[in-house]
């Protein structure tokens, strides 16, 4: 699968703006289909760099998550309820979301307590407004998205170093890239742990 994604990525890169659009649509479809988006996030960073990669992946992931949210709440409600009945703490999450949809959705996006794809459909069954869901998802998913895309961009830097870049510039660039990655991961981990503790407390009160 990784090779197939990489091959598609190389094709869309050569297509310019239209390629970015196709890549974004591919990410949306993968999200709705509950396929792992990590690989596509890495590919986006590799092909387009950290800034443009985030500008592509972030809105695409939110659009895909929103479509899954709407499908769960309106089209697949019965099937989604049956599947999510097996998810631990689903009832507690539903009750917590009913009390403060934006805050709980935001914390769920920051915390790895519930997998991303499962959460998209789970929140579709909860009492949360679409506007709150979209805004909280956008803000909450941004740190993790940036970290994954940035990691993908380092692949290109490593390839340049191995292809014969000047040792001085290559080594400095690699050191700065690794330092940036470590700082990014550190921030994401700290934020995730804080969000998880806060979320655990809210769910405990809702149980």
Map 74-140 to HEC letters: HHCHHHHHHHHCCCCCHHHHHHHHHHCHHHHHHHHHHCCCCCHHHHHHHHCCCCCCHHHHHHHHHHH
Residue 165 DSSP one-character state = -
The pLDDT value given to residue 166:
47
pLDDT at 31 over 90: yes
Neighbours of 114 (CB within 10 A): 20
The pLDDT value given to residue 52:
93
* C-alpha torsion sign, points 108, 114, 115, 118: negative
- How many alpha carbons lie under 13 Å from residue 12 in its C-beta half-sphere? 25
Highest-confidence segment of 12-26, 105-119, 128-142 = 128-142
pLDDT at 134 over 80: yes
pLDDT at 118 over 80: yes
pLDDT at 56 over 60: yes
Compute the average pLDDT of residues 104-128: 85
The pLDDT value given to residue 94:
77
The pLDDT value given to residue 28:
96
- Distance, CA of 200 to CA of 58 (rounded, Å): 26
- Distance, CA of 70 to CA of 67 (rounded, Å): 5
- Distance, CA of 71 to CA of 77 (rounded, Å): 8
The pair of structure tokens assigned to 176 is: 């700065």
Q: What is the pTM of this model?
A: 0.78
- Distance, CA of 68 to CA of 137 (rounded, Å): 13
The pLDDT value given to residue 161:
43
The residue that leads in pLDDT, 125 or 63, is: 63
Residues 107, 194: contact at Cβ < 8 Å?
no
Highest-confidence segment of 12-16, 36-40, 84-88, 91-95 = 36-40
pLDDT at 45 over 80: yes
Compute the average pLDDT of residues 140-157: 85
- The residues spanned by each domain of the chain are 2-206
């Amino acid at each position: 699968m990784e090779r197939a994604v990489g091959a598609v990525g190389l094709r869309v890169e050569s297509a310019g703006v239209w390629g970015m659009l196709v890549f974004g649509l591919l990410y949306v479809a993968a999200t709705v289909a509950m396929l792992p988006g990590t690989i596509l996030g890495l590919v986006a960073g590799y092909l387009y760099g950290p800034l443009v990669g985030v500008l592509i992946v972030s809105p695409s992931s939110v659009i895909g998550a929103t479509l899954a949210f709407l499908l769960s709440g309106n089209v697949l409600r019965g099937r989604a309820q049956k599947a999510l009945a097996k998810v631990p703490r689903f009832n507690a999450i539903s009750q917590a979301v009913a009390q403060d949809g934006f805050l709980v959705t935001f914390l769920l996006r920051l915390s790895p307590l519930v997998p991303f794809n499962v959460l998209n459909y789970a929140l579709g069954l909860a009492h949360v407004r679409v506007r709150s869901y979209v805004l909280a998802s956008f803000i909450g998913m941004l740190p993790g998205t940036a970290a994954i895309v940035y990691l993908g961009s380092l692949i290109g830097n490593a390839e340049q170093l191995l292809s014969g870049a000047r040792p001085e510039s290559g080594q400095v660039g690699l050191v700065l890239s690794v330092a940036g990655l470590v700082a990014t991961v550190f921030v994401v981990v700290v934020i995730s742990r804080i969000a998880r503790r806060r979320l655990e407390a809210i769910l405990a009160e809702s149980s």
